[in-house]
Amino acid sequence: MTYRVQFEKELEDLKIDLIKMGDEVISNIKDGLKSFLTMDGELAQATIKKDKIVNDYEIIIEKKCLQIILKEQPVAKDLRLITAVLKMITDLERIGDHAADISKMTIFMQENTKPYTVKQMALMTEASQKMIKKALDSFVTRNLELAYEVINDDDEVDEYFLQVKKIVAQAIRNNEIDADYALYLMMVAKYLERISDHAVNIGEWVVFSILGEHKHDVIF
């Protein structure tokens, strides 16, 4: 096996691990919100425990990146790609933390009140999941246009967040929602909004891996 073939295999393994980590994160977001909206404590506990899988992937991928840098001493686009991976796994790990945080809201609230349904919460979750998947797909396929789509998609999630705030505020005025539950509901909405921000970060690092630019600044 030639040097370049071996190097390409190592990079491909990195991409596979990144996709697996992303799949775990997306699953945890979905389960975390479901546990909150249905006050399912068992699902919440399971989701919190699964965050360790995400953390383990971060450690594994980080070690592989550092090993490649030390052994292969990559330059130019190869170094950009590995640098981007190191940045992306940090954002994925933080997204995983937010999924666990949402589940913790369930643990705090499950014995205190009944759920109050706001459909935009589910829409925020779905949009955030799509953004993460699209960002990872853009990285694997080196699709610059797709990465820019992720960055622009954040506006949709921000709009849902504003809608949630208005709905919850109105529900409080109408005495339709418990005050404590309203607070936790807004915290969950904020976590979802932050998740979409991290997806944008991933998209921006994809742009960097391809062009060497980050937020329009040329790095290398």
Count of domains observed in the chain: 1
Over the stretch 19-60, which tens digit does the pLDDT of each residue have?
999 999 999 999 999 999 888 999 999 999 999 999 999 999
The parent domain of residue 158 ranges over 3-218
Q: Are 140 and 85 in contact (CB under 8 A)?
A: no
Q: Are 39 and 115 in contact (CB under 8 A)?
A: yes
pLDDT at 179: 87
Q: Are 43 and 35 in contact (CB under 8 A)?
A: yes
Output the six-digit token pair for 31: 């389960």
Going residue by residue through the chain, which has 220 residues, state the pLDDT in tens, using 9 for 90 and above.
566 778 788 888 999 999 999 999 999 999 999 999 888 999 999 999 999 999 999 999 999 999 999 988 877 888 999 999 999 999 999 999 999 999 999 998 877 667 788 999 999 999 999 999 999 999 999 999 999 999 999 999 999 999 999 999 999 999 999 888 899 999 999 999 999 999 999 999 999 999 988 876 666 5
From 38, 86, 36, 59, select the one nearest 191 (Cα to Cα).
36
Output the six-digit token pair for 92: 């994925």
DSSP string, 198-216: HHHHHHHHHHHHHHSEETT
pLDDT at 5: 76
Question: How remote is the C-alpha of 189 from its chain's centroid?
Answer: 14
CATH number at residue 157: 1.20.58.220
Q: Are 127 and 160 in contact (CB under 8 A)?
A: yes
